[in-house]
Chains A and B, each alone.
Chain A
Amino acid sequence: MEESHGTEAGTERVDQETTATSWEPRIVAFICNWCTYTGADLAGTSRMKYPPYVRVIKIPCTGRFDPLFMIKAFERGADGVLVSGCHPGDCHYTAGNYNARRKYTVFKDLLATLGIDMDRVRFSWISASEGGKWVDTIKHFTEVIRGKGPFREYREMIDVG
């Protein structure tokens, strides 16, 4: 893992927030209607347990994912963002996920160029039958984000409200 993002003033606040019992990671997951959402549903109906800190936003297809969704999520308080959809070859609309993959490739490099902590961004393919993979992905991502603490650097570039 590369250098932490905590600034001098920021670290102190992060410490306060992480030691307070109230803070838990806020993860926003943009997931496709056909595969990952159904996979997450399967995890639920199979009574598998995973950390409850993920806010699911259903999109029709990863092809619908716009990087602005991720920027907005970070602006409004997300500590980590996951984007997940059908495996290559399985897209309900044939090619939405292939187009999405190109977008991710470009956008993740742009975020990295700007110095956004790439551990807070995650992409995955999770099919309708992979309830277990959904659970593992959320568990692992939650632990990573918990280790990093709140992502204040982005949203607090201005203190709103």
Chain B
Amino acid sequence: MPYMTLDRTDLPSLAEALAGRGKRLVLPVREGPELFYREGADPAQLDLSTIPKNSIKEFLFPKSEKILEYEYTGNDVVIDDVDPDAGPAVIFCARPCDAASLPVVEPLWNWDYKDKFFNERRAQTLVVTYACRTAPDDACFCVSVGLSPSSDQGSDVLLYPVDDTRVAVRLVSPAGRELEEVFSGFKKGEVSEESLDAFAKEGEQSLADRKRLDKVKNWLEGHFEDPLWEEKASRCIGCGTCTFLCPTCHCFDIQDESVFDGGCRLKNWDGCQFSLFTLHTSGHNPRDTQPKRYRQRILHKYSIYPEKFGRILCTGCGRCVAHCPVNLSLYDVVSTAQERAEKGE
């Protein structure tokens, strides 16, 4: 079956057409030396030269979100539920590793409690993904966790930049297929299914040297205490860069902010690398050193979460590798674990 192609130069107009009629539009634009996904940015500024520094997480799970309001009246407290500040949205030219984070975290937000804030946003968000022809950054390792530079997981539509001028369109989900008309309006030609397969192969080839991380879970289960943690993570400074840039990290903190007659409850991003994260009121901290906190992050991603939800909590986007202030590379740690597992250590 052939797929339609559009001109790459038509992408900004396509973004506008998809967003049309008052949808929020998120797309990658350049800010200084780096790219960022931004809501409300000018589509003409669309920049696809590399992977953005932030993930798309913040558009479904904002860094700070009001979840209820309360008011004191006499001796009573009146609590008002708040609706998510959501509305129809289009995330345009997400990277496959970002789109793939959505099915990874969906079970989490729908486990014992159904999080209406995430779910309402998710239901109203259309994800148009821009496949990577080759790995856009040295830190990429999506193939290591079973994804690929042209993975369609979590995407409604997948765009393939098949060459310098043409972009092929594959409508992936029912929501994506409903938009056929919008895309057809930009149709300039067609490509064969084989050429998309070749495109996908080229992307995977570009990451041929990355290790499959299929034995990491087993290794971790037997190496809770291991010199590796101290060796790699004693350099960790305990900031939240890795967790906050990560498309799949989802921990949050609940804060009440009140004035004398009422206030609100906020859900804010939190991260396991902070010493405060596990600090008890008593003063005891079960994860009292940075290597223990770092181990927790790896365990959660590659052992605990897969155990519970059947998926690795990592899409190999490489942001925690590229942007760690002390260049502590998650890929380095998990690939070392994989190597040692392969050697039977």
Contacts and interface: CB of A to CB of B under 8 A. Distances in A.
Direct contact, A vs B (beta carbon within 8 Å): yes
Interface of A: 76-77, 158, 160-161
B258 interface: yes
Contacts of B69: 161
A158 to B, nearest CB: 8
B263 interface: yes
B159 to A, nearest CB: 37
A79 to B, nearest CB: 15
Interface residues of B, number: 9
Interface of B: 69, 71, 257-259, 261-264
Nearest to B259: A161
Contacts of B259: 76-77, 160-161
15 contacts: A76-B259, A77-B259, A158-B257, A160-B257, A160-B258, A160-B259, A160-B264, A161-B69, A161-B71, A161-B257, A161-B258, A161-B259, A161-B261, A161-B262, A161-B263
Overall SS of chain B's interface? strand
Given A76-B259, A77-B259, 5 more contacts: A160-B258, A160-B263, A161-B71, A161-B259, A161-B263
A77 B259 CA distance: 10
Nearest to B72: A161
Q: Which 8 A-B pairs have the closest CB atoms?
A: A161-B262, A161-B263, A161-B259, A160-B257, A160-B264, A160-B263, A161-B264, A161-B258
B258 to A, nearest CB: 6
A160 B258 CA distance: 7
Which of A76, A77, A161 has the most B CB atoms < 10 Å from its CB? A161
Contacts of A77: 259
A76 to B, nearest CB: 6
